[in-house]
Amino acid sequence: MSDAQHIAERPLANGQTRIDFQTEPARYRHWRLKIDGDIATLLLDVDEKGALFEGYDLKLNSYDLGVDIELADAIERLHFEHPQVRAVVLRSGKPRVFCAGANIRMLAGASHAHKVNFCKFTNETRNGIEDLSENSGLATICAINGTAAGGGYELALAADYIMLVDDGSSAVALPELPLLAVLPGTGGVTRVADKRKVRRDYADFFCTTEEGVKGKRALDWRLVDEIVPGSKFDVTVLLRAKEFAAKSRRSAQGQGITLAPLTRSFSDSGVEYGWLSVEFDRARRIATLTLRGPAALPPASADAMTALGSEFWPLKLARELDDAILNIRLNEFDVAVIVFKSVGDPGEVVAYEHFLDANKDHWLTREIRHLWKRVLKRIDLTSRSLVTLIEPGSCFAGTLAELPFASDRSYMLATSLPSPAGLERERDNRPPAAIVLTDANFGPYPMANGLVRLASRFLANPAEFETARAERGKILDAGRAQQLGLVTFAPDDIDWDDEVRVFLEERASFSPDGLTGLEANLRFAGPETMESKIFARLSAWQNWIFQRPNAIGEDGALKRYGTGQKPVFDTGRV
């Protein structure tokens, strides 16, 4: 077994090793995070022997999922632990090489499911770098001191500004097609065309050339923003970082908080967090996530919120939900349906929403809102059927109400007349099922298509969006919620169990591949953005290409890479 840091001690129920997404800087093996005033440096210095699995070494700063888990953690810590940082420099800790991209031996030996989820997570992490800049004001600079190939250049593409040392050998490259018979898996083609606006003919040459592009040509073609002689490189990188920091809109005020390790208890039947429970019904292929509302009213002030740190309810719940979703994605492949439930007082949830609104200009409030945005996007992009069950005692209000809007379907129990003898529900002593809308449902949580979930829902009639907005703050029962289009169905006591059971059984009986394609097509109606292209168009084609013999067959490019043998291709165009 590998000695990598991201293998959890507790194995899965099927005996396989669990991948753990929790880490901290003291445990990093591949990245070093350095803070110098308002400038942070993320230094990529991959431990060759720190691979997530056996069978390959991480040479030339190549990476696997374990490397990206550390990068994602470092980005979160820049959000929450270092509010004084205003510019971030991505650099290599190795001479004459920036990053060789995703490790080829890892890709060749990994299961199809792992490859696809690996690409999805790296995409989310690169988008997280752009979010760091766009929404938190941390400008990002990538300083390339050697070769940046494949995923290495895709990492650079996520930055605001790319600097390349002009030494006659350093180059940027996307060689996946000529070398491996696949496409860049982390948004490279899309960012070259849409973000850097490289001319189509230049981009065609660039993406079909193994050795990449160097120096002045890379600058002229907009593949980098600046080339610098080696003798002046370090000084110029620091100068640019100071310039970007000076122009950053991020306030340097405020004391950061520590992102404490999550407390989790794993068992064969589920995972228990502080504010979240995950229950696996493996026979029915269902994972039920029950979110718990706050146990007390919000703190009295923003200073009190900061003092609570990572124990502050909205922040802790967001981190727990994110960890639970990632655990299902990478460790629970047989789960067909994720069911969202909640328990708690919706009034207390709304109180937290009002608290965050009242302190919307505080740096920690902004970061918590942006974290929820990223977590909800991760849910949108998870290839499982999603359903929310809104039952008596639920607290789907404000931010938590985004879960039914993110789901493929939602069922809300309607209050009915007393049931016939013997059919009374035990939950009668709990408050009736309700939804409460707040300002959080109309702005801070856009999807990959740039629209909030309710705007995506009401594309055909935007007036319905405004009608729902007018209902903010009201306790909406099942009848009113269905009338407003907030839920799919509102069965009564008599029909509830049967309708929910039929849906869950039906979902588990369908082809997982077909459902993944269907759900991905239906979840992102409306406008197309660079982000939606990366996840929809590119990821879908990459998913398909990764299964083709030309790439992954015994004579395919991934399997023969580095052997000295040329791949053998089926030359028919499909």
What would the 3-class secondary structure string for 72-88 be? HHHHHHHHHCCCCCCEE
* Residue 360: count of CB within 10 angstroms of its CB: 12
Helix axes 363-380, 313-331, angle to 10 degrees: 30
Task: Give residue 325's identity as a one-letter amino acid code.
Answer: I
* Residue 514: count of CB within 10 angstroms of its CB: 9
8 A C-beta contact, residue 329 and residue 386:
no
Rounded to whole angstroms, the Cα distance separating 138 from 152 reads: 21
Structure tokens at 145: 């001191």
Contacting residues for 239 by C-beta, under 8 A, at least 6 apart = none
* Residue 361: count of CB within 10 angstroms of its CB: 9
Helix axes 363-380, 346-358, angle to 10 degrees: 130
Decide the pairing of beta strands 286-292 and 276-281: antiparallel
Rounded to whole angstroms, the Cα distance separating 536 from 429 reads: 45
8 A C-beta contact, residue 91 and residue 33:
no
Helix (H, G, I), strand (E, B) or coil at 436: strand
Rounded to whole angstroms, the Cα distance separating 388 from 289 reads: 10
Helix intervals (H) in 31-84: 65-80
8 A C-beta contact, residue 91 and residue 58:
no
User: Can you give the pLDDT at residue 415?
Assistant: 79
Q: Hey, which bits of 157-298 come out as E strands?
A: 161-166, 171-173, 213-214, 226-229, 265-267, 270-272, 276-281, 286-292
User: Can you give the pLDDT at residue 425?
Assistant: 52
Helix (H, G, I), strand (E, B) or coil at 201: helix
Rounded to whole angstroms, the Cα distance separating 181 from 165 reads: 29
Q: Hey, which bits of 100-224 come out as E strands?
A: 139-144, 147-149, 161-166, 171-173, 213-214
Query: 137 in the Ramachandran plot: left (φ > 0), alpha (ψ -120 to 50) or beta?
Result: left
Q: Set out the domains of the chain in order of their start, with CATH numbers.
A: 25-247 (3.90.226.10), 265-523 (3.90.226.10)
User: Can you give the pLDDT at residue 251?
Assistant: 80
* Residue 211: count of CB within 10 angstroms of its CB: 11
* Residue 136: count of CB within 10 angstroms of its CB: 21
Helix intervals (H) in 332-395: 346-358, 363-380
Structure tokens at 507: 């979902």
pTM, two decimals, is: 0.94
Strand partners, 281: 286
* Residue 507: count of CB within 10 angstroms of its CB: 21
Rounded to whole angstroms, the Cα distance separating 346 from 438 reads: 11
Residue 344 is classified by DSSP as S
- Signed CA dihedral, 416, 421, 423, 425: sign only: positive
Rounded to whole angstroms, the Cα distance separating 386 from 459 reads: 21
Task: Give residue 126's identity as a one-letter amino acid code.
Answer: R
Residue 526 is classified by DSSP as S
Q: What is the dihedral of CA 505, 510, 513, 515, to 10 degrees?
A: -70
- pLDDT means per 10 residues, the chain with 574 residues, are 58 71 97 97 98 95 98 98 97 96 93 91 96 95 97 98 97 96 92 97 97 97 98 98 95 87 96 98 97 97 97 98 97 97 98 97 96 98 97 98 98 70 57 97 97 97 97 97 98 96 96 90 92 82 84 91 92 85
Farthest CA pair distance, the chain: 87
User: Can you give the pLDDT at residue 544?
Assistant: 82
* Residue 398: count of CB within 10 angstroms of its CB: 26
Residue 290 is classified by DSSP as E
pLDDT in tens, 495-514: 999 999 999 999 999 999 89
- Signed CA dihedral, 191, 197, 200, 204: sign only: negative
Q: Quick one: which of 198, 266, 177, 240 has its CA closest to 548?
A: 177
Q: Quick one: which of 340, 328, 319 has its CA closest to 395?
A: 340
User: Can you give the pLDDT at residue 119?
Assistant: 92
